[in-house]
C-alpha cells in the first residue's frame, strides 16, 4: 500500500522541481559565439567581422586568454594568432583583434582584402598556461563568417529635394555603406566650401556601417543646371561617384514684397508731378501778367 502524500512532502517535491528549473541553465550552459554569417568585402579594402562569445565558466582570467581565428575547420590554418609566426604567410600583418577578450569581444579586422579571402573564418578561444592551452579551449566551427568578394565599390546614394529655390538654403546628403569602420570611406564634393559640409558616421547593423556627408548652401541663380558630384574613396584607393544636376527656381515675389520700393517711388513721382503742375500754372500766370503790363505801356505812349 502506497502511503498517502502529506502536504509537507508535496511542498518539498515542488521546491525541488523549481530549483531544478532555475539551476538547469547554469549547468547546461555551453560555449557559444555570435557572428555575422555572411559579409560583403571590397577587394583591396578591409573588413571587420563582429564577434562575441560566451563560455560555461562565469569568468576567465583575461590575462591568460588567447584568441585565434582559423580557416573553417582547419585549426592549423590560422589567420590570426598572437604569435605572427603561427599565422598563414598570406595573412601576416593583415589581421588584428579589435575586441577585448576579457569582455567577450572577439571581433577581427582583415586589411588589404584579396579576391580569394572568402573564408569561412572561425574563432577559437584558449586559456593558456605556460604557452600551452589548458582544457578550457573551444573552436566555434558552427559559427563562422564567410566573405562575399566585391570587385567594385558600392555607389553612394544622394538624398535631396527635387528643386532648389533661389536665395534659400539647400542640402544634399551623400551616403555609402561599408564594412570597415577603422578605415571609413572618404566622401568629397566637386563643389562647395569646407564650412558647408558636415560628416556623420554610424553603425547600421552588425557588420555594416554608413558614412555620410551633408552639403548645405544658399542656392543662387548661377547654380542652375550645375552638376554636384559626390565621390567615395575607399581604403585601397578604389572610388565610386554619383552626380546631381541642380535645378534652381526663382522665388515668386508678390506685389507686397515691393512695397518698400513702390511706396517711396510713388511719393517721389507724385511730388514731382505736383511741383511741375505748380510751375506750369505759375509760369502761365506770369506770362499773362507780363502781357497785360505791356498793353498798358502802349496805351500811355
**With bands split at pLDDT 50, 70 and 90, how would you rate the model's confidence at 296?**
low
Mean pLDDT of the chain: 79
Residue 77 CA, distance from chain mean position: 35
Distances from the Cα of 51 to the Cαs of 28, 81, 100, 139, in angstroms?
Answer: 22, 16, 11, 13
Helix then strand then coil, in percent of the chain rounded to 5, is: 30, 40, 30
List, in sequence order, the alpha helices (H) in 5-152: 7-28
134 vs 19, residue with greater confidence? 134
Instruction: Please tell me the predicted confidence (pLDDT) of residue 1.
Output: 44
Percent of the chain with pLDDT over 70: 69
* Band of residue 281 on the pLDDT scale cut at 50, 70, 90: low
Instruction: Grade residue 164 by pLDDT with cuts at 50, 70 and 90.
Output: confident
Q: Which contiguous run of DSSP H or E holds residue 24?
A: helix 7-28
Q: What would the mean pLDDT of 2-23 be, rounded to a whole number?
A: 49
Amino acid 62: pLDDT: 60
pLDDT value at residue 249: 86
* C-alpha–C-alpha distance, residues 127 and 147, integer Å: 28
Domains and CATH numbers, the chain: 27-150 (2.60.40.10), 157-249 (2.60.40.10)
Per-residue pLDDT, 22: 41
156's CB contacts (< 8 A; 6+ apart) are 174, 175, 176, 187, 230, 231, 232, 240, 241, 242
pLDDT for the residue numbered 19: 45
**pLDDT band of 107, cuts 50, 70, 90:** very high
Taking only the tens place, the pLDDT of each residue in 189-247 is 998 787 889 999 999 999 999 999 999 999 888 888 889 999 999 998 899 999 999 88
Residue 23: predicted pLDDT = 41
Which residue did the predictor score with more confidence, 208 or 134? 208
Mean pLDDT of the 65-85 span: 89
Q: Evaluate if residue 32 carries a pLDDT over 70.
A: yes
**Count of CB atoms situated within 10 Å of the CB of 49:** 26
Grid cell for residue 72: 573553417
Closest CA to 87 of 102, 64, 69: 69
- Higher pLDDT pick, 232 / 15: 232
Per-residue confidence band for 300, with pLDDT thresholds at 50, 70 and 90: very low
Whole-structure pTM value: 0.68
Give the per-residue pLDDT at 179.
93
DSSP state of 56: S
pLDDT grade, residue 27 (50/70/90)? Answer: very low
142: confidence class by pLDDT, cuts 50, 70, 90: confident
Give the pLDDT of residue 26.
37
If phi over 0 gives left and psi between -120 and 50 gives alpha, with beta otherwise, what is residue 294? alpha
Contact 236, 112 (CB under 8 A): yes
**Which cell numbers in the block locate residue 36?**
555575422
How many other C-beta atoms lie within 10 A of the C-beta of residue 156? 22
Mean pLDDT within 176-195: 89
Confidence (pLDDT) at 198: 93
- Check pLDDT > 60 for residue 25: no
Amino acid at each position: 500500500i502506497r502511503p498517502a502524500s502529506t502536504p509537507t512532502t508535496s511542498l518539498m517535491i515542488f521546491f525541488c522541481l523549481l530549483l531544478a528549473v532555475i539551476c538547469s541553465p547554469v549547468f547546461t550552459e555551453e560555449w557559444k559565439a555570435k557572428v555575422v554569417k555572411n559579409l560583403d568585402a571590397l577587394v583591396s579594402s578591409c573588413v571587420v567581422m563582429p564577434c562575441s562569445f560566451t563560455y560555461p565558466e562565469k569568468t576567465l582570467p583575461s590575462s591568460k586568454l588567447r584568441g585565434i581565428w582559423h580557416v573553417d575547420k582547419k585549426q592549423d590554418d590560422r589567420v590570426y594568432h598572437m604569435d605572427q609566426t603561427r599565422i598563414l604567410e598570406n595573412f601576416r600583418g593583415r589581421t588584428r583583434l579589435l575586441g577585448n577578450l576579457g569582455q567577450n569581444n572577439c571581433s577581427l579586422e582583415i586589411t588589404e582584402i584579396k579576391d580569394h579571402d572568402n573564408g569561412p573564418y572561425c574563432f577559437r578561444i584558449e586559456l593558456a598556461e605556460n604557452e600551452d592551452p589548458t582544457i578550457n579551449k573551444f573552436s566555434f566551427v558552427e559559427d563562422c563568417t564567410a566573405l562575399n568578394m566585391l570587385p567594385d565599390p558600392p555607389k553612394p546614394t544622394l538624398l535631396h529635394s527635387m528643386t532648389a529655390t533661389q536665395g534659400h538654403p539647400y542640402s544634399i546628403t551623400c551616403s555609402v555603406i561599408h564594412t570597415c569602420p577603422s578605415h571609413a570611406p572618404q566622401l568629397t564634393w566637386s563643389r562647395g566650401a569646407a564650412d558647408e559640409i558636415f560628416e556623420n558616421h554610424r553603425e547600421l547593423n552588425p557588420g555594416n556601417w554608413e558614412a555620410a556627408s551633408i552639403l548645405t548652401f544658399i542656392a543662387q541663380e548661377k547654380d542652375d543646371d550645375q552638376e554636384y558630384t559626390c565621390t567615395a574613396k575607399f581604403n585601397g584607393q578604389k572610388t565610386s561617384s554619383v552626380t546631381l544636376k541642380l535645378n534652381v527656381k526663382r522665388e515668386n515675389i508678390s506685389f507686397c514684397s515691393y512695397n518698400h520700393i513702390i511706396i517711396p517711388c510713388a511719393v517721389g513721382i507724385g511730388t514731382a508731378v505736383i511741383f511741375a503742375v505748380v510751375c506750369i500754372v505759375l509760369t502761365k500766370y506770369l506770362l499773362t501778367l507780363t502781357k497785360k503790363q505791356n498793353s498798358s505801356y502802349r496805351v500811355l505812349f
